[in-house]
Chains A and B, each alone.
Chain A
Amino acid sequence: MSANARIVEALLFVSSEPLDERALAQAAGLSEPDIEEALVQVGQRHTQGNSGVVLERVAGGWALRAADDTAMACARLLDQLSQRPLSRAALETLAVVAYAGPVSRPEIARIRGVAADNPVQSLLERGLIEEAGRSDRPGNPLLYRTTTRFDRVFGLEEGRHSLPLLDELGDDLPDAAQVRDRLQAMAATQGIAIHEPAAADHPA
């Protein structure tokens, strides 16, 4: 490896947060093109099956992490909380924070229809979400957003930008009109018709 690559390797080794090209260039006193070249070399040295740690593109930066065949041993050493699977409530809450964040606890509860205190607490403890100031809404509730740790656990290369668009998540996602139609259909099977929606009041 070149001297530049060794510097970049060391910077990634000592950092607990992913570093982007700019931060690397600043610390190394190198230009960004030099850093990109160095990163290629670091990546070639740290590959799966060849090295205990691998270079990964994550959260809009670069980081080292345990290779797949070493991850279990590392997790045992760290007694990682993340080995416990996330509950459905926690996953839904996490999804709301990831897509709608920064978002407050009452807002999460409104979307899910259930108090969000427990899942929010458990996600905070896992370090997947963090506080992000207070809302302007009445009561100034705390806002939450996902963390860099979230990006790393879920392998999101460009952070939140790597999340799929909601519309791409499934063809069978019902929209409000479909749900309403189903409600009406259910009423119809009971021999009752719910009157037509006032379309003017509720633009789609």
Chain B
Amino acid sequence: MATSSALALELDLEPFAGPFDLLLALVLRDVVDLGEVPVADVCLRYLAQVEEEGELDLESASEFLVLVAALLELKIRLLLTPDEVDDMPDAQEAAEELAARLAEYARAQAAAAWLAERLGEVGLRVFRSGPPALRPPRLLLDDAGTGDPTALAAALRLVLTRTDEVSEPIHVLRRRIPLSRLLDHVRRAVREAGDCTFEDAVKGLNRTEQAAAFWAMLDLIRGGEVTAEQDAPFAPIRMRATGRQTVSIGVAA
């Protein structure tokens, strides 16, 4: 196919400044027929090229992804019947947005072309650059006032006293939750009701305590004191006392 070789050249992205540029060319300048673009071939070719280079340039790879995704979306729309397109509520919005963005990009491109032309017109302009010669910032001059050396001492004193104002360090204490307390808590909840859900048992506890309570429940199951059932993931956990008693060692969680 003639278009496929022409397209392979264009997909090198060198002559194009990005996917929008290529899309604009496709849409406005009839460079290639969209239906003829073999996206699978293009992808294989790109992968081969990446393998050859032995290194994945993330920026150009993401450019490529954006481009191929846009191509695919356009192609898919061409394959659908009008009824099917009507069934895609986002399709209209997406087409509108794409059109608006392409138009915006076209303006940026025109501005860039003007800048390039302007650069040619005005020619090479050389002028003094770099930091202003020996010019201290005006603010500093104002602050220095008359150039009185005691002003420096005053400024230093300001800096030194400021360091004294550093606030006291704040200690963040690690909270320790004794597992024994939660073992008792869960044990009591189950025994009193004979049958209760985990959710009810931990009502009123904070998140950390709830997590520790879950650990406590597992400990009780392991010890044979309690059995637990859950119908489905995230469903309530039903606990039942077995009547057996064990002595668990409370470990701080």
Contact = CB atoms under 8 A, between A and B. Distances in A.
B104 interface: yes
A134 to B, nearest CB: 22
A176 B28 contact: no
Contacts of B127: 16, 63-66, 152
Nearest to A179: B99
A50 interface: no
Contact of B108 (A74, A111, A149): A111
Interface string A157-175: 0000001101001100111
Contact of A176 (B80, B85, B100, B116): B100
B17 A114 contact: yes
B77 interface: yes
Nearest to A80: B126
A90 to B, nearest CB: 9
A99 B105 CA distance: 12
A153 B45 CA distance: 41
B111 A166 contact: yes
A195 B88 CA distance: 11
B222 to A, nearest CB: 46
B118 A113 contact: no
Contact of A65 (B34, B35, B92, B125): B125
A64 B118 contact: no
A156 to B, nearest CB: 8
A30 interface: no
A: contact size bracket: 35 or more
Contacts of B145: none
Given A14-B133, A16-B131, A72-B124, A174 B110 contact: no
A138 B78 CA distance: 37
A95 B108 contact: yes
A153 B126 CA distance: 8
Contact of B17 (A89, A155, A186): A89
A64 B98 CA distance: 46
B82 A64 contact: no
A115 interface: yes
Given A71-B124, A195-B86, A154 B111 contact: no
Contact of A197 (B86, B92, B106, B129): B92
A154 B78 contact: no
A186 B105 contact: no
A95 B95 CA distance: 26
Contacts of A6: none
B199 interface: no
Contacts of B169: none
B123 A169 contact: no
A65 B124 CA distance: 10
Contacts of A84: none
A35 interface: no
Nearest to B17: A88
Contacts of B21: 113
A12 to B, nearest CB: 9
Interface in A54-69: 63-66, 68
A113 B101 contact: yes
A174 B103 contact: yes
Given A15-B128, A111-B108, A176-B100, 16 more contacts: A16-B132, A64-B127, A89-B17, A95-B111, A95-B115, A112-B105, A113-B105, A114-B63, A154-B119, A176-B102, A177-B99, A187-B78, A192-B85, A194-B82, A195-B92, A197-B95
24 contacts: A16-B130, A63-B127, A68-B124, A70-B126, A71-B125, A94-B115, A110-B101, A113-B20, A117-B59, A154-B119, A166-B107, A166-B111, A169-B114, A173-B107, A173-B110, A175-B103, A178-B103, A179-B27, A179-B100, A180-B96, A182-B28, A192-B81, A194-B82, A197-B95
Interface of B: 17-21, 23, 27-28, 34-35, 59, 62-63, 66, 77-78, 80-82, 85-86, 92-93, 95-96, 98-116, 118-119, 121-133
Please name the 5 residue pairs, one residue from A and one from B, whose CB atoms are nearest each other, closest first: A114-B18, A113-B20, A95-B111, A155-B122, A65-B127
